[in-house]
Structure 1
Amino acid sequence: MTPRPLILPMPGNEGFARDLADAGGGEIGTVETRRFPDGETYLRLLTPVAGRAVDLVATLAGPDPDFLRLAFAADAARAQGAVRVRLVAPYLAYMRQDKAFRPGEAVTSDSFARLISSLFDGLVTVDPHLHRRAALSELYSIPAAAVQAAPALADWITAEVPRPLLIGPDSESAQWVQAIAERISAPWTVMEKTRRGDYDVSVELPDLSGHAICTPVLIDDIASSGRTMIAAANLLAARGLARPVCAVVHPLFAGDAFARIQAVAARVVSCDSVPHPSNAIPLAPLVAAALTALPERSRT
């Protein structure tokens, strides 16, 4: 009898890993890790992995402090006889810097992809921040699946928001905001966004006078500084619309961003790709299905 896939959560990912095991029929294992006094990482796999297919679960919202222990866990699993080692990264870091904008810049998305591809046999993530790349396969040399959170967002909006009007942050979001809107038969539009810096954002909205009775739902893939959602919420208020529901896929919320958005929103919710108090939309069932469908890595 083939053993069930072994799901190993890195620290902080235990909740998502349990949900993933429940959704996909996997078995939860345990990783022990700590810091030595000199700052180096100690890591031990407490669950035997020999002959097992292993899925390491690690959201990468804090990639710099977390990457080395993730690499050590993957290498230890392979050295101890795992037949396959894949990465489940609900949030995938280092996707923004996909070209050198100025001479001498590191193209970190390429570098990070090479590192991950050297360690794992497959990758599943959720709504990666692809701009100038059409697919993960342009970066990663291993089988990689990008799960779309749209179905989960649509189901939550249907259950929780009366008369929703979906609003995307910019023209790039039009395709997936439209997909959610069509799934729930709701009106939708997108803003025109001008970004002049990390914390300097302005937005413009089309005429929404025909949707005065609707509940605005601002949808974004990543909330970091929160400036886009705050600017949009303030603009909606200036036009006499209701305070919006803000829904994000990846709740990074740097600094006081979450509190600032809460101050202008009726409600702030997120998918559970990054552990956060705003988590309300589970992704594990979608990720489990993607893992099942992920092709095996070719070793030729």
Structure 2
Amino acid sequence: MKMILFSLPGNEELTALLAKKMDAEIGEATLRKFPDGESYTRILSHVKDKCVVLVCTLHEPDEKLLPLYFLSHTAKSLGAMCTCLVAPYLAYMRQDKIFNEGEGITSGFFGNLISGFADSLTTVDPHLHRINSLGQVYHIPNTVIHAADDISRWIKSNVENPVLIGPDSESEQWVSEVAKNAGAPFTVLQKVRHGDRDVEVSVPDVDKYKNATPVLVDDIISTARTMIETVSHLKTAGMKPPICIGIHAVFSDNAYQNLLDSGVEKIVTCNTIPHPSNTIDLSDVITKEVKELMQHT
């Protein structure tokens, strides 16, 4: 089946990488707004009997969703065999329960919406906190890509004498996996409660790691509060300035600059959301998984 990739605005760089590795063409489309604010969609490339791959990372999703919806349906109306969504970052996954009376579980609503116009979904490390699998939310063939191996390889090649730091006990499983593949030790910050308002955070065996380069790893860096707090604890413990690694560079408001100003050595993210910190390229694994998923679509 022939593939043609369409990039939603802001996804051009990743789309170019994927098209080259898939040996696929990049489609042309016009996406703009009418003077009254309504969306206009026109596909300029031939899509009949082809699999249309829509590349659109879904941070700040509300403005992107309608053009994506129109593009998918327009492609099918022109004879496309299928429309496959590649959304490296998947929005609304945190809203997976009712926290307050009167709310809806919007992760499910969003999943139903996308499942209604895309034939498959490929994403990277979605937030599956209270959800066992993506298939509970998205009722279409889907693939979840894990960035841990690529992060481990980057650490192994670029960081001398690394030690991975987990901000709390919940992070231990994730941090230990990356550390194992990187061939590096890891430790987790420990909280010692002296009273209701007196909590001390310590680095176990800090003397053992005084000459190591601390590496903080998290899936989403949004407000960066957790990382900034962890950087402060490491500084208090007398450790070197850390390297901060995140999969998804959400960076709300001034979070990126605030994290830089906290005293880190470097901030590194994967290219799931376009950002100046993008250093770890996931296009190889995305290409592989999209090809495999399409065989079953």
Q: TM-score, normalised by structure 2?
A: 0.93
Q: Which residue of 2 aligns with 1:149?
A: 147
Amino acid at match of 1:7: L
Give the Cα–Cα distance (whole angstroms) in 2 for the partners of residues 190 and 147 of structure 1: 25
Pair 1:181 & 2:166 matched: no
Given that residues 203 and 231 in structure 1 are in contact (C-alpha distance below 8 angstroms), is that contact kept between their aligned partners in structure 2? no
Amino acid at match of 1:220: D
Q: Structure 1 unaligned segments of length 5 or more: list them.
A: 194-201
Which of these residues, 96, 99, 107, is aligned with residue 97 of structure 2? 99
Amino acid at match of 1:256: N
Q: Which residue of 1 aligns with 2:274?
A: 275
Give the Cα–Cα distance (whole angstroms) in 2 for the partners of residues 192 and 131 of structure 1: 22
Q: Which residue of 2 aligns with 1:24?
A: 22
Pair 1:231 & 2:229 matched: yes
Give the Cα–Cα distance (whole angstroms) in 2 for the partners of residues 169 and 76 of structure 1: 46
Q: Which residue of 2 aligns with 1:217?
A: 215
Give the Cα–Cα distance (whole angstroms) in 2 for the partners of residues 72 and 205 of structure 1: 52
Note closer, same or farther for the CA distance 1:191–1:128 as it changes in structure 2 (3 Å cut).
farther
Note closer, same or farther for the CA distance 1:295–1:15 as it changes in structure 2 (3 Å cut).
closer
Q: CA deviation at 1:26?
A: 2.0
Which of these residues, 257, 260, 263, is aligned with residue 258 of structure 2? 260
Partner SS, residue 119 of structure 1: coil
Note closer, same or farther for the CA distance 1:86–1:240 as it changes in structure 2 (3 Å cut).
same
Q: Structure 2 unaligned segments of length 5 or more: list them.
A: 192-198
Q: CA deviation at 1:296?
A: 5.3
Which of these residues, 82, 85, 88, is aligned with residue 84 of structure 1? 82
Given that residues 90 and 126 in structure 2 are in contact (C-alpha distance below 8 angstroms), is that contact kept between their aligned partners in structure 1? yes
For residues 189-233 of structure 1, the C-alpha deviation after alignment (integer angstroms, 9 at most, x for no partner) is 23468xxxxxxxx99344132111110001110011111110000
Give the Cα–Cα distance (whole angstroms) in 1 for the partners of residues 165 and 80 of structure 2: 45
Given that residues 24 and 285 in structure 1 are in contact (C-alpha distance below 8 angstroms), is that contact kept between their aligned partners in structure 2? no
Q: Which residue of 1 aligns with 2:293?
A: 294
Q: CA RMSD in A?
A: 1.6
Q: TM-score, normalised by structure 1?
A: 0.92
Work out the number of aligned pairs and report it: 288
Given that residues 147 and 290 in structure 1 are in contact (C-alpha distance below 8 angstroms), is that contact kept between their aligned partners in structure 2? yes
Q: Which residue of 2 aligns with 1:37?
A: 35
Give the Cα–Cα distance (whole angstroms) in 2 for the partners of residues 147 and 24 of structure 1: 17
Q: Which residue of 1 aligns with 2:195?
A: none
Q: Which residue of 1 aligns with 2:12?
A: 14
Q: CA deviation at 1:268?
A: 0.6
Give the Cα–Cα distance (whole angstroms) in 2 for the partners of residues 287 and 240 of structure 1: 39
Partner SS, residue 45 of structure 2: coil
Q: Which residue of 2 aligns with 1:131?
A: 129
Q: CA deviation at 1:149?
A: 0.5
Give the Cα–Cα distance (whole angstroms) in 2 for the partners of residues 113 and 170 of structure 1: 30
Note closer, same or farther for the CA distance 1:192–1:109 as it changes in structure 2 (3 Å cut).
farther
Amino acid at match of 1:24: M
Note closer, same or farther for the CA distance 1:23–1:169 as it changes in structure 2 (3 Å cut).
farther
Note closer, same or farther for the CA distance 1:262–1:47 as it changes in structure 2 (3 Å cut).
same
Give the Cα–Cα distance (whole angstroms) in 2 for the partners of residues 107 and 191 of structure 1: 33
